[in-house]
């Protein structure tokens, strides 16, 4: 299928590329965040009360010691340990407040610590959070305890923190690397030597971590085909189980620090595409399975197996192997999905703290999903995860014929078929290898809100 026939995006004709290269959502949620609105505490409480096991939990740790200029995440610059201690005590308040609303001690199957940089927290603070989670939830059947790691934060103590993470039970780790070239690193203000990356990776292996992921970004300043080929070779010499190869999401209207990256230092769209195409081709040749646009996994990794078995899932963090139907988000800006209602916490620390001080849940925005939303969400996430839609399954789930429900978008589907992104069978829609690459474009066809959301809210598809 898509990964045995090597599709080379650089062979795309310029006209089609221009057509597909648009600002598009990544569909880590549907409807996407710009279509959410104010969510009251009482509505969020109602949905928390109605929850049943199993759950996923997301904990947001926003702190970073320095700001990488490209960063699009929710980050708070901080170098003072007392601020981290304070944050953890509020995280504890929030967990306790939420747990009082849950019907019982809920079973949790997956926990993800994201950021910012969760490994910015000291070992005792990480221990405090894990201990509270153990007393609040039932973690006996947990499958994934995942954490995002900045290698620069675990090298200072010669690996003691990494060892501690293993002892705490973390079994899925992801390292941020982005690019190994010194000139690129200087331009993004992220200096991370190859030694730092190699040392942390090999130590993690020695400690017995498996399913290790490494994050890379293409489209950064001063990147060239030759320089990024070296980055890919550096990463391949470690042979991580998974590689995330993200397109640089340039969103300066949301992240003003990105303006410090001068436009003339960025690769052109054509060069960016060539960097991506070359990297994709190399990774596939070296035994990685390409999953959609930005994920690569060794055939031995469970993510590759989930792709083949069509059991891959998509949540706020991107593709994942495990996902409970409900996820509670804790921490500033954290997002959850409870009882078919998206809920996002307050985005600034003073309001997050003040709301918890008053004994209230720090929720601010969200979206209760209607029947139509659930239908569109299923179609979009099925397409993103399985790269096909089974019309019979659609009928058995929603009691309406796929072709009837989506008759108004038939022209757009035909258009995608003509462009070689899609094959339409009577019972199925199948994304081609080109369609897998541009699956976000295909998904927009089924997004009932896209017309309402200004397109500038999203980053470009490539």
CA distance 362 to 365: 10
Report, in Å, the least distance between residue 233 CB and ligand SF4: 22
Instruction: Identify whether the C-beta of residue 296 lies closer than 8 Å to the C-beta of residue 242.
Output: yes
Choose the one of ligand SF4, ligand SAM, none that binds residue 246, judging by a C-beta under 5 to 8 angstroms depending on kind.
ligand SAM
Q: With contacts defined by CB under 6 A, name the span among 13-21, 69-77, 310-318, 441-449 that binds ligand SF4.
A: 69-77
HSE of 312, CA atoms in CB hemisphere, 13 A: 25
Which DSSP category does 200 fall into?
Answer: H
CB of 218 to ligand SAM, least distance (A): 9
- Interaction mask 365-404, ligand SF4, x per CB under 6 A: ----------------------------------------
The residue within the footprint of ligand SF4, chosen from 12, 48, 64, 361 (CB under 6 A), is: 64
Contacts of 109 (CB under 8 A, 6+ apart): 54, 55, 56, 141, 142, 143, 144, 322, 324
Among positions 9, 116, 219, 240, the unique one binding ligand SF4 when judged by CB under 6 A: 116
Among residues 117, 119, 326, 382, the one that binds ligand SF4 under rule CB under 6 A: 117
Task: Compute the distance between CA of residue 41 and CA of residue 409 in angstroms, rounded to an integer.
Answer: 37
Rounded distance between C-alpha atoms, residue 5 and residue 168, angstroms: 42
Q: How far is the CB of 461 from ligand SAM (least distance, A)?
A: 13
Strands, E assignment, 75-212: 76-77, 108-115, 144-149, 172-178
- Decide if residue 176 touches ligand SF4 (CB under 6 A): yes
215 touches which of ligand SF4, ligand SAM, none (CB within 5 to 8 A by kind)? ligand SAM
Of 61-69, 130-138, 231-239, 414-422: span binding ligand SF4 (CB under 6 A): 61-69
- Give the residue at shortest CB distance from ligand SAM: 176
CB of 432 closer than 8 Å to CB of 422:
yes
The residue whose two tokens read 């009251």 is 40
Comparison of 73 and 430: residue with beta carbon closer to ligand SAM = 73
The separation between CA 208 and the C-alpha centre of its own chain, rounded to angstroms, equals: 24
To ligand SAM, the closest distance from the beta carbon of 462 in angstroms equals: 12
Of the candidates 71, 147, 332, 363, which one interacts with ligand SF4 according to CB under 6 A?
71
Q: How far is the CB of 262 from ligand SAM (least distance, A)?
A: 16
Residue 115 lies near ligand SF4 (rule: CB under 6 A): yes
Least Cα distance to 241 among 283, 198, 212, 273 occurs for 212
Count other C-beta atoms under 10 Å from residue 221's C-beta.
20
Q: How far is the CB of 409 from ligand SAM (least distance, A)?
A: 29
Chosen residue from 33, 67, 97, 409 binding ligand SF4 by CB under 6 A = 67
67 contact choice in ligand SAM, ligand SF4, none (CB below 5 to 8 Å, kind-dependent): ligand SF4
- DSSP string covering 201-253: HHHHHHTT--S-EEEEEES-TT--HHHHHHHHHHHHTT--SEEEEEE----TT
The label of the residue with tokens 């505490």 reads 41
Q: Hey, which bits of 167-298 come out as E strands?
A: 172-178, 213-218, 242-247, 288-291, 295-298
**71 or 106, CB closer to ligand SAM?**
71
> CB under 5 to 8 A by kind: which of ligand SF4, ligand SAM, none does 304 bind?
none
Contact partner, 385, from ligand SF4, ligand SAM, none, Cβ < 5-8 Å per class: none
d(CA 362, CA 355): 6
Distance CA 194, CA 240 (A): 15
Closer to ligand SF4 by Cβ: residue 73 or 448: 73
The CA distance from 156 to 154, in Å, is 6
Say whether 241 sits in a helix, a strand or coil.
coil
What is the contact surface with ligand SF4 in residues (CB under 6 A)? 64, 67-68, 71, 73, 75, 115-117, 150, 176
């Amino acid at each position: 299928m898509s990964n045995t026939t090597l599709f080379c995006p650089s062979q795309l004709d310029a006209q089609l590329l221009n057509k597909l290269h648009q600002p598009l959502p990544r569909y880590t949620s549907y409807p996407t965040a710009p279509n959410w609105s104010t969510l009251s505490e009482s509505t969020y409480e109602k949905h928390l009360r109605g929850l049943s096991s199993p759950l996923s939990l997301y904990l947001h740790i926003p702190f970073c010691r320095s700001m990488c200029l490209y960063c699009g995440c929710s980050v708070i610059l901080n170098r003072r340990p007392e601020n981290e201690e304070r944050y953890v005590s509020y995280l504890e308040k929030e967990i306790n407040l939420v747990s009082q609303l849950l019907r019982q001690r809920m079973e949790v199957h997956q926990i993800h610590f994201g950021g910012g940089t969760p490994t910015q927290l000291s070992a005792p603070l990480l221990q405090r959070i894990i201990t509270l989670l153990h007393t609040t939830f039932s973690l006996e059947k947990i499958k994934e305890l995942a954490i995002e790691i900045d290698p620069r934060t675990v090298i200072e103590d010669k690996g003691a923190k990494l060892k501690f993470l293993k002892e705490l039970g973390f079994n899925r780790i992801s390292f941020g690397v982005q690019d190994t070239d010194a000139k690129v690193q200087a331009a993004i203000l992220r200096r991370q030597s190859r030694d730092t990356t190699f040392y942390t990776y090999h130590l993690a292996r020695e400690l017995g971590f498996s399913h290790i992921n490494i994050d890379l970004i293409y489209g950064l300043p001063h990147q060239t085909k030759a320089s990024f080929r070296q980055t890919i070779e550096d990463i391949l010499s470690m042979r991580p189980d998974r590689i995330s190869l993200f397109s640089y999401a340039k969103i300066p209207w949301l992240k003003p620090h990105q303006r410090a990256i001068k436009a003339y230092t960025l690769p052109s769209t054509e060069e960016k595409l060539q960097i991506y195409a070359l990297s994709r081709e190399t990774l596939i040749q070296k035994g990685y399975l390409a999953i959609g646009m930005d994920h690569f996994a060794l055939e031995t990794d469970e993510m590759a197996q989930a792709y083949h078995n069509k059991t891959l899932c998509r949540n706020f963090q991107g593709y994942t192997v495990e996902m409970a139907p409900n996820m509670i988000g804790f921490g500033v800006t954290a997002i959850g999905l409870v009882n078919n209602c998206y809920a996002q916490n307050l985005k600034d620390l003073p309001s997050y703290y003040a709301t918890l001080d008053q004994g209230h849940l720090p929720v601010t925005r969200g979206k209760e999903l209607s029947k139509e939303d659930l239908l569109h969400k299923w179609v979009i996430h099925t397409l993103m995860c399985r790269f096909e839609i089974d019309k019979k399954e659609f009928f058995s789930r929603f009691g309406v014929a796929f072709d009837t429900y989506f008759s108004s978008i038939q022209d757009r589907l035909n258009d995608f078929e003509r462009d070689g992104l899609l094959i339409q069978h009577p019972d199925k829609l199948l994304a081609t290898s080109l369609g897998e690459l541009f699956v976000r474009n295909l998904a927009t066809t089924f997004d009932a809100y896209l017309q309402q959301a200004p397109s500038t809210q999203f980053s470009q598809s490539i």
